[in-house]
């Protein structure tokens, strides 16, 4: 939490003024019982209507000034809290974006979303309440006790006994319930995760007709949350009756002591009313304080969870220099894997073992293998989405770890397995590849990606509206647009990670032909499950259980690699293979 307080540095003035104005409001509130005492003793006793109206005006003035102070305090507290949460949310978002795939995989998407949304909101609410009430409530409690001593010392001794008893009850219940509230928050995370999974996977759920099972699962998770909340609510519910019993006993004691003193002429009836009012103020503030501490506890728990994410450092570090060996002559070797071993975080075994591959500039490399053989893992090492455990990955003869990430990834266009498009126009989506891309460059990329025909068919050109995740497009259309987005970048290296799986064979063939003819200087990596997709590549890498089982052309591998032969025979006839 201490590390997060730095986000208040731009709101130091607001952080001081908010509690200051709140304490000013409290000061005016402490004078109210004294004014009421004067009304009782001077106005009501002597039936002086003018005096009653006069003092009533004083009460109204105190109320107005207190209201102005309260609104001012709320303004400054809200400004500081909202500014704090805005800066925190921006930095948290940027920090999450800087994490490597390894850290994001380990933490989990749902956890990161919860930290970005509900946790930050909880911290904002806790900070707002802290600035307004943390000093006000203790000030009222002890101020009321001090004011009671100015009225009558003997009766005020009841306050000395009642306040510790109230504190024991209020803070005892609070200390018992705080861990339970944390348990409630954890269960709330579980409910949130369940809801998110159902909303994002609604089509799969309906496809398998599992609505009833998911409803039952969510109901069980939600019921546990209700049980936790009811249990902690029952404990917290003890606070009001127990504190009211103590306060009422104290009031009875004050009235009994004051009554005797009134009969003896030591104090007046108005002063007795003032003592009762001070006791009531103490009760209200202690209840506020207890609720405040519960809110602060929740906020601190959320702040600690945010700090945990903020403290996670990316396993991928890169130099900050903007230049990498400028003026270096072009090498014939574009990408090279030198005895690479790679394992995912917390994995017991390597996903890739002793990979040694040399790729020349302008070559097309096909990568094929069974499910889980390490195809995607291999190409993800080139843009440093992950780092190797052992060995080296070289681009233009330079270790990828020596590149600034921005400089490295400017060279590479990636078409991921899952076609992801963003809400907005087609033009906006294409400019993810190149910010200043012209319409002509975009249309050229669409032509190569075999997407021009269906885009023109929509009748809106580059202004075609794309819904979130491209839900208004078919799977094949989404894939072609993601390929076009990568081509707009005019990259030196193009990585297509099984990105044509939704295309028919004819469109796939046209796509491969267009890429081969229109991107001659680009080094292309094609990951595919289809033998037909990669058979025309300059080199084919056959992976089997994370190791290179074969490397060569289609003809060479057909003759020498049993794994490749089995893949081809499972998909093609012998005539087609030839």
How many CB atoms within 10 Å of residue 209?
8
What's 268's DSSP letter? -
Residue 419 tokens, joined: 């076609």
Residue 498 tokens, joined: 């099984």
pLDDT of residue 327: 41
User: How confident is the model over 274-327, as pLDDT tens digits?
Assistant: 888 888 888 788 778 777 877 887 788 788 888 888 888 887 777 766 555 544
399, 462 contact by CB (below 8 A): no
Distance from C-alpha of 15 to C-alpha of 359, rounded to nearest angstrom:
60
368, 540 contact by CB (below 8 A): yes
Cα torsion 332, 335, 340, 341 to 10°: value is: -170
Residue 24 tokens, joined: 């000013």
User: How confident is the model over 137-154, as pLDDT tens digits?
Assistant: 888 888 888 888 888 788
pLDDT of residue 61: 92
Residue ranges in the chain whose pLDDT is less than 50 = 326-328
Cα–Cα distances in Å, from 225 out to 113, 191, 192, 215, 221?
20, 8, 11, 15, 6
Distance from C-alpha of 324 to C-alpha of 489, rounded to nearest angstrom:
20
> How long a stretch of residues is the chain?
578
SS (H, E, C) 379-416: HHCCCCCCCCCEEEEEECCEEHHHCCHHHHHHCEEEEC
Residue 435 tokens, joined: 């910010």
Distance from C-alpha of 419 to C-alpha of 374, rounded to nearest angstrom:
20
**74, 166, 132, 163: which is closest to 292 by C-alpha?**
132
Q: What is the distance of C-alpha 271 from the center of its chain?
A: 55
For the chain, domains (ranges, CATH) are 7-310 (1.20.1560.10), 333-577 (3.40.50.300)
Cα–Cα distances in Å, from 221 out to 182, 195, 463?
16, 10, 44
pLDDT of residue 326: 47
Which residues, 6+ apart, have CB-to-CB distance to 161 below 8 Å? 250
Distance from C-alpha of 195 to C-alpha of 189, rounded to nearest angstrom:
10
pLDDT of residue 330: 60
Cα–Cα distances in Å, from 293 out to 75, 241, 300, 518?
21, 19, 10, 66
Pairing of strands 424-425, 465-466: antiparallel
């Amino acid at each position: 939490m201490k590390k997060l307080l730095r986000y208040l540095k731009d709101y130091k003035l607001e952080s001081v003024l908010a509690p200051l104005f709140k304490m000013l409001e409290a000061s005016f509130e402490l004078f109210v019982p004294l004014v009421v005492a004067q009304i009782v003793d001077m106005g009501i006793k002597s039936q002086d209507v003018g005096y009653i109206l006069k003092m009533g005006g004083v009460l109204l003035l105190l109320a107005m000034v207190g209201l102005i102070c309260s609104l001012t305090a709320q303004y400054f507290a809200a400004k500081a809290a909202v500014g704090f949460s805005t800066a925190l949310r921006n930095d948290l978002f940027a920090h999450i974006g800087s994490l490597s795939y390894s850290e994001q995989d380990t933490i989990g998407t749902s956890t990161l979303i919860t930290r970005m949304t509900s946790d930050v909101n909880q911290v904002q609410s806790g900070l707002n309440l802290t600035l307004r009430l943390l000093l006000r409530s203790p000030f009222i409690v002890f101020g009321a006790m001090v004011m009671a001593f100015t009225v009558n010392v003997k009766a005020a001794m009841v306050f000395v006994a009642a306040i510790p008893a109230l504190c024991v009850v209020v803070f005892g219940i609070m200390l018992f319930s705080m861990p339970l509230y944390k348990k409630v928050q954890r269960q709330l995370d579980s409910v949130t995760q369940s809801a998110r999974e159902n909303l994002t996977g609604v089509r799969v759920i309906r496809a398998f007709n599992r609505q009833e099972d998911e409803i039952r699962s969510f109901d069980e998770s939600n019921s546990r949350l209700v049980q936790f909340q009811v249990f902690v609510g029952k404990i917290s519910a003890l606070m009001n009756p127990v504190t009211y019993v103590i306060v009422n006993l104290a009031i009875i004691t004050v009235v009994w002591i004051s009554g005797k003193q009134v009969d003896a002429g030591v104090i007046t009836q108005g002063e007795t009313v003032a003592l009762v009012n001070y006791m009531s103020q103490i009760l209200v503030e202690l209840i506020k304080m207890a609720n405040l501490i519960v809110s602060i506890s929740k906020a601190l728990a959320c702040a600690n969870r945010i700090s945990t994410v903020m403290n996670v450092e990316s396993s991928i570090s890169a130099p900050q220099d903007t230049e990498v060996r400028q003026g270096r002559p072009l090498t014939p070797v574009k990408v090279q894997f030198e005895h690479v071993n790679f394992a995912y975080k917390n994995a017991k075994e390597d996903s890739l073992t002793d990979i040694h591959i040399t790729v020349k500039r302008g070559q097309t490399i096909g990568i094929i293998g069974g499910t889980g053989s390490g195809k995607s893992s291999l190409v993800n090492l080139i843009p440093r989405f992950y780092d190797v455990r052992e060995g080296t990955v070289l681009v233009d003869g330079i270790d990828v770890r020596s590149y600034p990430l921005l400089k490295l990834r400017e060279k590479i266009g990636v078409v991921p397995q899952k076609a992801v498009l963003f809400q907005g126009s087609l033009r906006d989506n294409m400019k993810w590849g190149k910010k200043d891309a012209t319409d002509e460059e975009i249309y050229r990329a669409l032509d190569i990606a075999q997407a021009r025909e269906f885009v023109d068919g929509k009748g809106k050109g580059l202004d075609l509206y794309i819904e979130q995740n491209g839900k208004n497009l078919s799977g094949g259309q989404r894939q072609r647009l993601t390929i076009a987005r990568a081509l707009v970048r005019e990259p030196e290296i193009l990585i297509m990670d099984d990105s044509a799986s939704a295309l028919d064979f004819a469109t796939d063939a046209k796509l491969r032909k267009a890429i081969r003819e229109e991107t001659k200087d680009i080094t292309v990596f094609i990951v595919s499950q289809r033998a037909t997709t990669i058979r025309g590549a300059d080199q084919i890498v056959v992976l089997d259980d994370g190791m290179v089982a074969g490397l060569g052309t289609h003809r060479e591998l057909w003759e020498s690699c049993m794994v490749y032969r089995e893949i081809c025979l499972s998909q093609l006839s012998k005539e087609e293979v030839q």
